[in-house]
A and B are shown apart, each in its own frame.
Chain A
Amino acid sequence: MWAPEAELKNLMLAGLDGDAAAHRSLLTSLSNYLRAYYRRQLGRIGRSATDAEDLVQEALLAIHTRRYTYDPVEPLTPWVHAIARYKLIDHLRRTRTSLRDVPIDEAPDLIAEGDHDDTESTHDLGKLLGQLPEKTRRVIEYVKLEGLSVAETASRCGLSESNVKVSVHRGLRALAAAIARERQQ
């Protein structure tokens, strides 16, 4: 019945060990489930697909930047579902929507269906990056957008490799925080 669980968990475990292809394919699968989930949940209270896409991206960022909170002895779906639901409720709170209409849902609801119809979110990556400190922004651009290796980025920016890794991690979390701030306004 929970067919995707085993497959998703394998991708997650490989991603935790640094397998980029597995990680990408995990995020792609999850984004489809998340999209269907948020459209269903927001549809019930008359919200748009753009709102849903915003939430998909916030949830993906949270999943990525906090993936060390996943305990490998546990199934993956409840972990993802807990993040998805937390971000949903947080979003509704920020936009001052009544939480009374949010139905209780369980982990299997998250992977009940997928939705590939990727629309644009309102988040503007360029603008969000512009809010980061100069050093962090450059490191993110080199490592995460241009795909330069950590070693190369380190020598270009005159930083140590561990410094680059920390900056990437901080930068992504700062991006997630910038998105959350944007929403509050």
Chain B
Amino acid sequence: MKTDDLIAMLGTNVEPVDRKYVLRVVGAAVAVGTLVAATAILLAFGFRADLTTTRAFIFLFSKLAFTIVTVVLTAIMLTKLARPGGERRISIVWVASPFAAILLLAAVNLAFAPSAHWERMIVGDQWLECLLSIPIIAIAPFALITWAVRRMAPTDLRRTGALVGLAAGSISAAAYALHCVDDSLPFVALWYGGTIVLCTLAGVVLGPRLLRW
């Protein structure tokens, strides 16, 4: 085939393009993914039962703040990374900042607590449930966001995959927070942070296979 023939074909009946397409599709995938994850958690475990106390409310709020800030920052980065050459326009520092903050707070929290309480603060009651639920529930938002990013044109598939995993993991962690009653900061830093990092690593591995175009 002659290149001129291809150009003639592509240049015939050119449709106008939706300039907000990337934002719309990635945004929709993140929103639907969040909805699916929250529904799955509430159906499987139900809402945390003790929300009548102010204390529980504050802890729920701070867990949601950590995870939702991560989701929003990651989604913004993804709308850049999903475009060709986008890896030059983003900085990983942004998505790392919520993790740095929660680790710092957890360290301060431990420093002021007697060391006899440390194990209880770190291990909590439901660490196993948390460790399993977050990655499993993350599969749904992961699939949705992968579907969205596949329609785009990322050129750094590992980094894009990492952010897809990070977004899915933090969406799932936000949903899990609706149920979880382990409220110590070291617990959140280790088990929420750790499972989100796990999802991110899965994204690094899967990105080059799933996101090729």
Contacts and interface: CB of A to CB of B under 8 A. Distances in A.
A62 B213 contact: yes
Contacts of A71: 22, 83
> For chain A, what secondary structure do more than half of its interface residues adopt (helix, strand, loop), or is it mixed?
helix
Given A62-B213, A79-B83, A85-B155, A16 B7 contact: no
Contact of B6 (A15, A21, A60, A147): A60
Given A31-B7, A86-B155, A143-B13, A68 B1 contact: no
Contacts of A66: 84, 152-153, 213
B21 interface: yes
Nearest to B5: A125
B8 interface: yes
B5 A144 contact: no
> For chain B, what secondary structure do more than half of its interface residues adopt (helix, strand, loop), or is it mixed?
loop
Given A120-B1, A120-B2, A121-B1, A81 B14 contact: no
Contacts, number: 120
B9 to A, nearest CB: 5
B46 interface: no
A57 B2 CA distance: 9
A68 B22 contact: yes
A31 B1 CA distance: 14
Interface string B30-49: 00000000000000000000
Given A61-B6, A118-B4, 11 more contacts: A20-B13, A20-B14, A24-B8, A31-B7, A60-B10, A66-B152, A69-B21, A69-B84, A83-B155, A143-B13, A169-B15
Interface of A: 15-21, 23-24, 27-28, 31, 35, 53, 56-57, 60-62, 64, 66-72, 74, 78-83, 85-86, 90, 107, 118, 120-121, 123-125, 143-145, 147-150, 165, 168-169, 172
